[in-house]
Every structure is written in structure tokens, then in C-alpha cells.
Amino acid sequence: MSRDVLRRLGILGGTFNPVHLGHLRMAEEAVEALALDLCLFLPAWVPPHKPDPHLVAFEHRWRMLELATAGHPRFGLSDVEKRLRGTSYTVRTLRTLYLELPPETQLFLLVGTDAFFEMPTWWRYGEIFRLATVVVLDRPNLATEDVLAFLHKHVSTDYGHEATDGQEGSRAARTVYRSITRFPVVCLKTTRLDIASSRIRTLVAEGKSIRFLVPDAVMDYISEKSLYRSTRAKCP
């Protein structure tokens, strides 16, 4: 899809080390529930935490995302964090996208529940709520009062619980919190697939199958490049 026709753009960042079916299903349901024109996967260049000896080169993680998203009309990739170099801070990424995209484009930052509640540890996290709608995914039993208390304490006291859409227990159900000074926060119920990249790396290191945890093309790439078999993975 051309940049000049984007209206609603989802942003899903992470190390994707490697990308797995949990990432893809989460993005798929967000695209559908929020009527996104496109969901961009943004692999981190340098994650903002201590060095991980198991983190493979950006080029490997980018190629695995290319293979995983190939053919999907509403999935795309962005190398913005590679272009920015340095530590991959979410607020820097959003600022850059805000300037590069048409002014009418709405940004939707997709985060898991755990990441949402860790946002106060992120660099200049408060600015994120002025740049994008934050969409909190997973955990169907997430309490409305917990989210509101978090927003009042860490973001702004003018957030209020506006609405809940969908049937009780529905995967597409969502709860919206609105502020007069910042973008909304949306809690979206999605299918929770208990898949972790760290578990996939462990299985590969142990010589065990990762079939049905990652797309077949990603599984084949990991095998071809001998990724995750040791703490080092050099890019060809």
C-alpha cells in the first residue's frame, strides 16, 4: 500500500529474535479489530537493555520478518530503527515516523500487557501518548480499574473509561480510555499464544523441533543459517 493512502498505521516493535506465530497472530487480530490499513513490524537495532549474547544480527532478524510477512497485504516492514542507529527508543521511532508519514496518518502503537505496565521505565515514555494511540494486547482478564489507575498515576489524570465494545469473552472486545490532552489508550483482547522467542532459541540449541511455532520459511532459514546453535551468529 502506498504511503500517501495510509490513514491508520499499526506499529509493532521488538527484537523479533526470532519472529514467531504469536507475533503474527497478534498483528493479524489488531489489523482486523482496529481496521488498520497496514501493520509495520519494526525490528530493533540496539534494544534499550543490557547486551544479549543470543541476539542475532539485524540482517537475520529482518530477513526472517520478510519471510514471515511475505504475501500479507496489510503487513509491512520498516528499517527506521536501523536508519536511526544507536539505542532503539520507541519515542524516537514514533517521532521519526510522524515526520516521514502524511500528516493525516494515525499511529497505533501495539504493545503487550507486560510491556504496557513497564512503560514508565522507557525513555521519555510520556511523549508516546502524545504521538500515538497505545493499543494494549493480550490478557483477556485485564481489569479496567488497573489500567485506569496506571494511566492516572503515570500518564495523566484526565484519562477516563469511555466504552467497551464486543461480546463478553470475545477476542475482538476492546475497552477505550480517552484523554482531552493525549491520544486514546485501547485494550484489545486477542488470542493468547504462549510462544516465546527465548523458548524457540532454547529448542534450536537443543536440536529440537520448532515446527508450528514459527512459519515454515523462518524455520528453514534458521536451519540454513545455523542460527541460535551457539551464543554467536554471524551475518553472511
> What pLDDT is recorded for position 138?
74
Spatial CA neighbour of 91 closest among 130, 58, 59:
130
Q: Contact at 8 Å (CB) between 38 and 6?
A: yes
Q: Decide if 44 contacts 37 (C-beta within 8 A).
A: no
Burial of 122 (0-12, 13-18, 19+ CB in 10 A): middle
Domains and CATH numbers, the chain: 3-194 (3.40.50.620)
Check residue 236 and give its pLDDT: 40
Averaged pLDDT for residues 172-183: 88
Kindly indicate the confidence band of residue 5, based on its pLDDT and cuts at 50, 70 and 90: low
Q: What is the pLDDT of residues 134-164, one digit of tens each?
A: 999 976 667 878 999 999 999 999 999 876 6
Instruction: Write down the pLDDT at residue 226.
Output: 96
Q: Report how far Cα 42 is from the mean position of its chain's Cα atoms.
A: 8
Question: What is the DSSP code (8-state) at residue 105?
Answer: P
The alpha carbon of residue 39 and the mean position of all alpha carbons in its chain are separated, in whole angstroms, by 9
Are 195 and 177 contacting, i.e. CB atoms less than 8 angstroms apart? no
Mean pLDDT value across the chain: 89
Averaged pLDDT for residues 180-191: 94
- Give the pLDDT of residue 203: 97
Per-residue pLDDT reduced to its tens digit, 221-236: 999 999 999 644 444 4
Cross-strand bridge partners of residue 134:
109, 185
